[in-house]
Chain A
Amino acid sequence: MPTNTLGGRSFEVNDEGFLTRRDDWSEELAVDLAALIDLELTDAHWAALRFMRKDTEGGTPTPTLRRMQTVGGFDIKELYRLFPGKPAKKMAWLAGLPKPVGCV
């Protein structure tokens, strides 16, 4: 597995660049990662990322946007605004989780 180094931290990632060990993640790392894709994390961003971390604590798969809506109560339009382009992928990456695999 390749290793990424950012701001003095090293962490193992898969071929696409997603963290392989969720415990390597920290909120400081998320801030640095976000800077790489030109995002400044606001409270609204953090609400989504923290929900994802909490939702996956028991080893459940990375939530899809649908799950963010039905379980987390997030607004889909808002998520697209906060994480433009590929919201589910960006959120998973920033939260140190695997790429979401659900279809809906």
Chain B
Amino acid sequence: MATIPEGFIIPDFGPTTSSASPTAQVSGSATPAHAGPRKMAFICSKGNLDMAYPALIMGNAALGEGIEVHIFFTFWGLDIIHKKTNRNLKFTLSGNTAMHMPDLGRLRPGLEHVSMPQSLGNLPGMTSFATRMMKQQMADLDIPDVPDFLDMISAAGAHLYACKLTFDMMKLIEADLHPGVEGVISATDFIEISEGAQIVFV
């Protein structure tokens, strides 16, 4: 490896480059900092379309930064890695008061910030309509759909696990899981695996 000249500014590429500066030492903290390389663990507990993306997007970003990523799918989150459901995750207006219609602003300025009435969410067909719209908006930004996203992060080295308790409870079979899933593991297993990780619960 060539030596980096004096005063040369080089991006932080992590431990693979000699420019990597040791991470700031946590001083005065009661809990000892994890000594190893940075690691992140996500827990996906929800199966709505809009709740599938946070962990996938952040996990993908973390992988791109050279961070070790583990994702644990539990309860309704299992729908994200189940091959018979993950292509058809839904988005609903019901219970979501942050739902706005940008187009309404053209009718009268300010209307685009108004919450959609909750009763609209219960109209027949509204969930499929809202789902279709969200999928279209995602596709416009070239964000992969859920199965493709799983392929992508598996290729990037993400470790995916299904929760054993809910897997048994829902009577699933392993053949139905996305091939990137490494195993069906218990909560204790996950706690062991995620030692030293920053944990994000979705």
B157 in the interface (beta carbon within 8 A): yes
B125 within 8 Å of A (CB atoms): no
Q: Is the CB of B66 within 8 A of A86?
A: yes
Q: Which of B123-160 contact A (CB under 8 A)?
A: 141-144, 152, 155-157
Q: Which residue of B lies closest to A14 (CB)?
A: B9
- Give chain B's interface secondary structure class: loop
- Interface of chain B residues 44 through 65 with chain A (CB within 8 A): 57, 60-61, 63-65
Contact count A vs B, C-beta below 8 Å: 86
Query: Quick check: is A5 within 8 A (CB to CB) of the other chain?
Result: yes
Which residues of B are at the interface with A, using a C-beta cutoff of 8 A? 1-2, 4-5, 7-17, 57, 60-61, 63-66, 141-144, 152, 155-157
20 contacts between A and B (CB under 8 A): A4-B8, A4-B9, A5-B5, A6-B8, A15-B9, A17-B11, A38-B17, A65-B64, A65-B156, A66-B143, A66-B144, A69-B152, A84-B16, A84-B66, A86-B13, A87-B64, A88-B64, A89-B64, A89-B65, A104-B144
